Amino acid sequence: MGERVQVAERASGQLVEATLHEGLTTRDLEVIERSWAAHRAELVAALMGAGVERRLWPESLHWDWGRKAPLLELLLVNAFGVACRGGWQAVMMTKTAGYDARVSSEAGKPLVYVDFVETAPWNWTISELGRLPVFKGLGSVLIRRAVQQSRAEGFRGRVGLHALPQAERFYGQVCGMTRVGPDAAKQDLVYFEFTRQQADAFISGGGDR
């Protein structure tokens, strides 16, 4: 059935009910990609037509969740999705092994690693095209779930991830994660991490995206 959560509908300014699902399957990710692919293609055409520089394009525009689906065959990988109004609005893939904390106060301790997280293309803010998201708060819902998973695994809320540049503000300022710094092993993407205390603070307050 999934867990009931709330997300913000931008047009009305109201909170609406959504469902957070755990344990998404390969088929689920393939369905998500089929649903999102047409919107990605439409966005590419619109960006090219408007002459928007590629450096300003959404950085996950080339992602394909169908191609990521085989990762679910690994026992340490789990996928979560948020559904609302009959459609998938956001998806996240996590790993529970293979990564340890880097922040000095937690260094070497196990954590949940957020491998991929993305909202549906219609939930992106693209100022160059004057586009605003249909739903907001989806990123916060999924990061909260990663913290909950970390607690369930006995990791005390520790979560780590590498952020695309356009998402750095969200993880640093909205979520309140520690900015560890660029990681040469991950295309110099900036690595962020929740300590136990930061995870507690985020769950208590949280942000919006």
pLDDT digits (tens, 9 = 90+) for 65-75: 999 999 999 98
Q: What is the pLDDT of residue 45?
A: 98
For the chain, the straight-line distance linking the first and the last C-alpha, in angstroms and rounded, comes to 24
Q: Could you tell me the residue ranges of all domains in the chain?
A: 3-204
Q: What is the pLDDT of residue 1?
A: 73
Alpha-carbon torsion, ordered 70, 71, 74, 76, to 10 deg: -150
pLDDT digits (tens, 9 = 90+) for 27-51: 999 999 999 999 999 999 999 999 9
pLDDT digits (tens, 9 = 90+) for 147-205: 999 999 999 999 999 999 999 999 999 999 999 999 999 999 999 999 999 999 999 88
Whether the predicted pLDDT of 206 surpasses 80: no
Closest-CA residue to 120 (of 46, 3, 42): 42
Residue-averaged pLDDT of the chain: 95
Q: What is the pLDDT of residue 151?
A: 97
Measured distance CA(122)–CA(78) in Å, rounded: 24
- The CATH number corresponding to 3-204 among 3.40.605.10, 1.20.1540.10, 3.40.630.30, 3.40.190.10 equals 3.40.630.30
Report the relative pairing of strands 77-84 and 14-22 from DSSP bridges: antiparallel
